[in-house]
Amino acid sequence: MIVSRRSYMLPTIILICLTYILFSSLPPGARTPHGHHHHHHKQHLDEEPPHKNTRFRWVKHVEQFPISKYIPLPTAPSSPIPRIQYKFPRESWFARWGRTRRQRAVKKAFKHAWKGYKENAWLRDELSPLSGGHRETFAGWAATLVDSLDTLVIMDLMDEFEEALEAIEQIDFTTTDAIQINVFETNIRYLGGLLGAYDLTHGKYPILLQKATEIADMIYGCFDTHNRMPQSRWEWTRSAGGLNIEASRNTILAEIGSLNLEFTRMSQLTKDPKYFDAIQRIANFLEEEQPKTKVPGMWPMMVNARDLELADPRFTIGGMADSTYEYLPKEHMLLGGQTNQYRKMYDSFMGAMKSRLLFRPMTEDGRDILFAGNLHAGASKINMEPQWEHLKCFLGGTVGIGSKVFDRPEELSIARKLVDGCIWAYDVMPTGIMPEILHLTVCKEGRSCKLSQNSHSSSDAESIAQGKKLPPGVADIPDPQYLLRPEAIESVFIMYRITGDNSLQDSAWRMFQNIERMARTAYGHAAIADVRDPESPLMDYMESFWLAETLKYFYLTFSEPDLVNLDEYVLNTEAHPFRRPSAYV
């Protein structure tokens, strides 16, 4: 509507009032965006909470499929869990100087990205680090803010932490503009972030548990199905309207198998058994089916959670499956060894992985490193694809922890070779950064694993001619991106804390410097489009795990070993530290 210049004052005033009413009633996503990088974050604090006018709101209601009796937390006597961390000797002055110099560099990088988020995307999910805008990716509940709370504590940024605590009071976890809620991501980032900050500050800030309970009680609604398996992409508005929901016949394994730690910790802190009951039903199902799958000891990538069937022929420890396996030793730790269920599942998994997935690659120097491939279980044969991905780099840390807590010392060398494999995958790239996915050349058993100088095949030559820049031993790089992922430094950190090997700190420092050099922007850090190219363009997103995980793990690698001691805390798959029962020897 355009007002004529001949209009009088009254119509003009009426137009202004109507415009104000119209725009103040629009849903948040429909508002005209303003230049966030020109505004200080305090102006964002004065805005309306992001979901004030959303149509649907979650309220507690009578369940469609109520539980008659909850499965309680285990009450058996705790079994002593062996110590994980190396007994570090007293540090020399020179070693401390070098370590803290690196630690300060990581903290500086964090403060740069946090400043960019605070000034340009406050109370939004993610900063857009090239444009200075923001993205809503996880229900619009300020994912980066909540995900970063315990990193602020770990880095002793307590003024920023308390400022963030004031902001989270504005987040309403009972409503969202999202039609579906990704329960897994909500669980690990939001619930995990609140619980981690609560445990790390020893319960000093009750608002953290209050908000954790708010979000846990909401997503608990996803379990209200006929078999109590969660609807992982939860149609929450159906539940809010009193309608039935069902678990999916195509549920990602990681999304159903990685809720244990957070829901267990909720029951431990609140004394409410419903949370543990919810995940224990999943654990019982997975344990029962584990020996019956096409690769006994492992679960396929996709689960028919509605019919409780595991028919998918694809098996991996990478994306879509990873954290289910990661949580096996970690849930054992969080339960204080009060049950052997997770020990048995881990034992079965390790048998399958060692016999079917692990392989040594061909490298230029014949290095003794390990990777884990993918499996496809056909009618008569199980085929292994030598594919590796950045997401799989968690495995070295997990096997390292398992070797300690389950007293399997012979597997620590496997863990170290897996960690060294990820370090190698960083070091051989032109940018010093590992790509999202790469395919490797398998070293045949009983043969030398060192590539000869004339070992390039015609396909290698063709790849080089096409400009793919493949390092020796790498057969293909189908996805050359680096998305600011944490898995490699996660395992480097864990292996350093287990072994005390200072060379791992040196590897971490190389990794950090290369990422910082390539990814830094005016507003934060951005994902890299092609790690084969030292001049690679950047992509305009910075996921919350950059601050919650990647920089946290770099910082802890250069910290004193008692900061987030692995004998006192267990870290969830988003690097949020939950306090362990003190049942270790």
Please, which pLDDT band fits residue 457 given cuts at 50, 70 and 90?
A: very low
Q: CA–CA separation, 538 vs 526, rounded Å?
A: 6
Q: CA–CA separation, 51 vs 124, rounded Å?
A: 11
Residues 6+ apart with CB under 8 A from 407: 82
Pick the closest to residue 351 from 424, 298, 429, 427 (CA basis). Answer: 298
Q: Note the pLDDT tens digit of each residue in 173-194.
A: 999 999 999 999 999 999 999 9
Selected catalytic residue, list 150, 217, 322, 574: 322
Active-site residue flag, 160: no
Contact 200, 577 (CB under 8 A): yes
What residues form DSSP beta bridges with 528?
482, 538
Tell me the backbone φ, ψ of residue 376, rounded to 5 degrees.
Answer: -125, 120
Contact 488, 549 (CB under 8 A): no
Selected catalytic residue, list 436, 490, 530, 574: 436
Residues 6+ apart with CB under 8 A from 337: 78, 79, 80, 81, 583
Q: Note the pLDDT tens digit of each residue in 326-371.
A: 999 999 999 999 999 999 999 999 999 999 999 999 999 999 999 9
Residues 6+ apart with CB under 8 A from 522: 116, 132
Selected catalytic residue, list 119, 125, 147, 487: 487
User: Pick the residue with more confidence: 50 or 471?
Assistant: 471
User: Pick the residue with more confidence: 61 or 27?
Assistant: 61
Q: CA–CA separation, 374 vs 278, rounded Å?
A: 30
Residues 6+ apart with CB under 8 A from 36: 44, 119, 120, 121, 132, 133, 134
Q: CA–CA separation, 55 vs 353, rounded Å?
A: 48
Contact 320, 301 (CB under 8 A): yes
Active-site residue flag, 436: yes
Mean pLDDT across the chain, nearest whole number? 89
- CATH 1.50.10.10 fits domain 92-579: yes
DSSP letter for each residue of 300-327: -SEEBTTTTB----EE-SSTTTHHHHHH
pLDDT at 446: 74
pLDDT at 301: 98
Q: For residue 183, what are its two tokens?
A: 């329960």
Q: Note the pLDDT tens digit of each residue in 115-124.
A: 999 999 999 9
324 is in an annotated binding site: no
pLDDT at 454: 60
User: Pick the residue with more confidence: 18 or 239?
Assistant: 239
3-state DSSP assignment of residue 233: strand
Q: For residue 392, what are its two tokens?
A: 């799989």
DSSP letter for each residue of 42-63: HHHHTSPPTTTT-S--------
Please, which pLDDT band fits residue 468 given cuts at 50, 70 and 90?
A: low
Q: What share of the chain is helix, strand, coil (3-state, %, to 5)?
A: 45, 10, 45
Selected catalytic residue, list 163, 172, 185, 540: 185
pLDDT at 76: 83
Q: For residue 148, what are its two tokens?
A: 């970063």
Q: Note the pLDDT tens digit of each residue in 387-418.
A: 999 999 999 999 999 999 999 999 999 999 99
| Residue 502, Cβ density class (10 Å: 0-12 exposed, 13-18 middle, ≥19 buried) | exposed
Rounded to 10 deg, the angle between the 412-427 and 503-519 helix axes is 30
Active-site residue flag, 185: yes
Q: CA–CA separation, 387 vs 316, rounded Å?
A: 10
What sign does the CA torsion over 572, 576, 579, 583 have? Answer: positive
pLDDT at 452: 80
Q: Note the pLDDT tens digit of each residue in 32-71.
A: 233 333 333 333 333 444 444 445 788 877 899 999 999 9
Q: CA–CA separation, 256 vs 236, rounded Å?
A: 17
